[in-house]
Structure 1
Amino acid sequence: MLVNKSIISDIKNIIAHSKDNAIRAVDHQRTLMYWHIGKRIFEEEQQGKERADYGKFLTKYISEELEPEYGSGFSKRQIELFRQFYRTFPNTNTLYSQLSWSQYKIIIRLESQDKIDFYIAETVKNNWTVRQLERQVYSSLYERLLLSNDKESVLAVAKNEKQPSDAKEIIKDPMFLEFLGLKREASYYERDLESSIITHLQDFLLELGNGFSFVARQKRIHIEGDEFFVDLVFYNRILQCFVIIEIKTTKLTHQDIGQLQMYVNYYDRIEKLVHENPTIGILLCANKNDAVVKFTLPENQKQIFASQYELYLPTEKQLLDEVNKELESFDEN
């Protein structure tokens, strides 16, 4: 008797999917349990609010009573996190089953509601792991987006009020490639930078933004007998188009822009399918002259972008100064 062999793989997929759902369901119940504990602690604390030190006494007392029986998950620090969790999310309707308790522990440490909303939306939308969320928070993704986009647009995307429809809303400038391990003063070639990006490709895709997937490295193309090599090719699911990246470790020139324009034209005319959108080209360069970019490209073009990269993040003071400038400019408008 002939049996369709796909039935086994289908059943295995069902089992794996059910196991994942069960794990998520258990973790969400644990998260809700911590929320209810935090709520009860907060209510008790409010009854003794005339005593300034009552909160500290209460968390210490609860920990001493529960930790011997339930383990280190009910240490004084954990009990304080439960209380903070409830105070950050006083309504259970705002909790997401897609987020784990470990992710919520990262999020409740954020200092503003805008940042909390942003990182929750991005985590759910991109299905970030705990490690991915942690890296984006610690590398100041939110602040860096504020430097590159207007605050209104960033928050609208974060709250799912709108989907990115333009490459300018996704491509960041500058890009901070702090994960590459290269030092600014070190001597290296473009292939070293490219190799580092490939090695840390997952982190680089996170740095690029939403919806990027890797297609090719040093993609060979033939044009009338001449051979060319495109540094990196990606595809963006949200914009539904190819994204070509050329890497330059020197200051950007108009010849670099012309070369990238040729690659973009090639992909538009040879590789792009009818239903797909025009190809986007990004020049990732060590330094750029915005005026050169402006006068080399046609006005109002939306396909070629020059993005300067930095090998490490600016100092906290520099970052705060820039964010404050951006916010002041936003308030004035």
Structure 2
Amino acid sequence: MHDPSSKPTPRRGKVSDPATEIDANSYSAFVVELKRRISEARHRASLAVNHELILLYWGIGRDILARQQREGWGAKVIDRLADDLRRIFPEMTGLSARNLKYMRAFAAAWTDAEFVQRVVAQLPWGHNVSLLDTVKATEKRAWYAEQAIEHGWSRAVLVHQIEGDLFARQGSALTNFSRTLPAGQSELAQQLLKDPYTFDFLALGPDMLERDLERGLIDHLRSLILELGKGFAFVGSQYHLEVGGQDYYVDLLFYHLRLRCFVVIELKIEEFKPEFAGKMNFYLSAIDDQLKHKDDQPTIGIILCKGRNEIIVEYALRDSSKPMGVAQYRLSPALPAQYQTTLPTVEELAREFPLISVVKLRIEIERALRDTMSEHGLLPAKPIGIDNMLRALHERSLAPAGTERFLESLRVMNEAAHGLDVDPESSRRAAEIGAAFLAELTRPL
């Protein structure tokens, strides 16, 4: 019987074990998303501060110019102005007379306010000063400014590209891309090729062999990728192909992240010969057949020669159905023997530049994810990034268990793929996590 003296127990919501109350995968995905949004917001904030500072400097320079022209002020007014401004704003470090002169030169160099807003204000002040100091032609300076933004060049890399006259070399290789690639692909591929390539980080004597050139480029792989340009990810050297029961070896094999295709580079220490094109055509066919993914674009070949005759190149490429180009390279003079010992060893470079293996691993993971998406009928018509593929798999409970841990290392992989500096320990850890995730992703069910 019911005891009337007993007090009813208050009704409460369902109580569950806190450890099982929150879905672990859902929570982890939420944390990863918040980390991404917070990082992006912080990055936007830093960009906004830089943007406003550059616009301020441009405005100050423009006003100084206007006053000097309208009121006839001489150059000495800048020294006086610097003293007054530093007294009013003692905490600001950019108001020296030297910097005010740069502001005036900055405003004189960039008269288009829209271009300043859209492009120049995205660059740090140090980049803009280097452009003022080293590039006088407006068109050329604007090109370097846009390239620095697109490729994320540091100030040192920007100066290096200017000194190497990248503006004149970009898009100058002789190719058959316009005939063998779709319009958009051919234009992008053409612009990515240079002529000549500058391998001034090598010091090889006149008696060098092709294997010496190849070994030198591999030993200086970071410098090679910087010279090749953004998007080149190293796959291997002397890459083995088996065709018809016989062995063949490609000098250098890359994958281009923007073109979405393999790139074969063959090295020659002599003038271009027509038979080089025939051999390259053979390699491109083999790689398209053995390595190319169904979503990849046709493989591109680059023949790097000591020299070339334009007419011979034109004849050699005219009837080829495979996309290839021919470019020259130049080397620095050989170092004296006593300085050879100061060059870094392969082991030292391997320790210093572990990001190459990270980039290669990222490509393999992205390809494996595309395969997984395709197997489950989830692959969209347009390519999507790794983040979106993992999100789509997670929504259908198809994401591997190691997804959360992998996403933490994906940032490092993305930075490496875009040529940014990554510390060795972060690269090593990203490679370790990525390799485990790839093994999990490709493990048979």
Cα deviations by residue, 1:30-63 (Å, 9 ceiling, x for unpaired): 11221122122222212332xxxx4311111112
* Alpha-carbon distance in structure 2 between the residues aligned to 1:166 and 1:25: 30
Q: Could you tell me which residue of structure 2 aligns to residue 283 of structure 1?
A: 303
Aligned with 1:181: secondary structure? strand
Q: Which moved more, 1:115-124 or 1:198-207?
A: 198-207
Aligned with 2:122: secondary structure? coil
Q: Could you tell me which residue of structure 2 aligns to residue 327 of structure 1?
A: none
Aligned with 1:274: secondary structure? coil
Structure 1 residues 163 and 58, CA gap change in structure 2 (3 angstroms): farther
Q: Could you tell me which residue of structure 2 aligns to residue 24 of structure 1?
A: 47
1:188 CA drift (Å): 3.5
1:174 maps to which of 165, 184, 196: 196
Identity of aligned residues (%): 28
Corresponding letter in the other structure for 1:93: E
1:119-158 pair list within 5 angstroms: 119-145=144-170
Q: Which moved more, 1:217-226 or 1:199-208?
A: 199-208
1:12 correspondence with 2:40: no
* Alpha-carbon distance in structure 2 between the residues aligned to 1:45 and 1:70: 27
CA-atom RMSD, angstroms?
3.0
TM-score of the superposed pair, with normalisation by structure 2: 0.59
Structure 1 residues 213 and 146, CA gap change in structure 2 (3 angstroms): closer
1:13 CA drift (Å): 2.7
Q: Could you tell me which residue of structure 1 aligns to residue 136 of structure 2?
A: 111
Q: Could you tell me which residue of structure 1 aligns to residue 125 of structure 2?
A: 101
1:148 CA drift (Å): 5.4
Contact persistence 1:219–1:231 (CA under 8 A): yes
Corresponding letter in the other structure for 1:118: W
* Alpha-carbon distance in structure 2 between the residues aligned to 1:37 and 1:175: 40
1:104 CA drift (Å): 1.7
* Alpha-carbon distance in structure 2 between the residues aligned to 1:234 and 1:44: 55
1:281 CA drift (Å): 1.0
* Alpha-carbon distance in structure 2 between the residues aligned to 1:163 and 1:265: 19
Aligned residues: 295
1:147 CA drift (Å): 6.0
* Alpha-carbon distance in structure 1 between the residues aligned to 2:274 and 2:70: 69
Structure 1 residues 260 and 43, CA gap change in structure 2 (3 angstroms): same
Corresponding letter in the other structure for 2:169: R
* Alpha-carbon distance in structure 1 between the residues aligned to 2:302 and 2:129: 36
* Alpha-carbon distance in structure 2 between the residues aligned to 1:297 and 1:252: 12
Aligned with 1:123: secondary structure? helix
Aligned with 2:294: secondary structure? coil
Aligned with 2:239: secondary structure? strand
Aligned with 2:75: secondary structure? helix
Contact persistence 1:247–1:285 (CA under 8 A): yes
1:61 correspondence with 2:61: no
* Alpha-carbon distance in structure 2 between the residues aligned to 1:106 and 1:230: 40
1:70 CA drift (Å): 4.3
Structure 1 residues 200 and 8, CA gap change in structure 2 (3 angstroms): farther
1:196 correspondence with 2:216: yes
Q: Which moved more, 1:117-126 or 1:210-219?
A: 210-219
1:94 CA drift (Å): 1.6
1:244 CA drift (Å): 0.4
Cα deviations by residue, 1:293-323 (Å, 9 ceiling, x for unpaired): 445445365623222211149xxxxxxxxxx
Q: Which moved more, 1:296-305 or 1:131-140?
A: 296-305
- For structure 1, which runs of at least 5 residues remain unmatched after alignment? 150-161, 314-333
Contact persistence 1:164–1:170 (CA under 8 A): no
TM-score of the superposed pair, with normalisation by structure 1: 0.76
Q: Could you tell me which residue of structure 1 aligns to residue 331 of structure 2?
A: 311
1:88 correspondence with 2:112: no
Contact persistence 1:28–1:101 (CA under 8 A): no
1:213 correspondence with 2:208: no
1:238-317 pair list within 5 angstroms: 238-290=258-310, 292-299=312-319, 301=321, 303-312=323-332
Structure 1 residues 194 and 6, CA gap change in structure 2 (3 angstroms): farther
- For structure 2, which runs of at least 5 residues remain unmatched after alignment? 1-19, 175-183, 334-445
Contact persistence 2:86–2:92 (CA under 8 A): yes
1:40 maps to which of 39, 63, 67: 63
Corresponding letter in the other structure for 1:174: P
Corresponding letter in the other structure for 2:128: Y
* Alpha-carbon distance in structure 2 between the residues aligned to 1:280 and 1:20: 36
Corresponding letter in the other structure for 2:124: S
Contact persistence 2:197–2:328 (CA under 8 A): yes
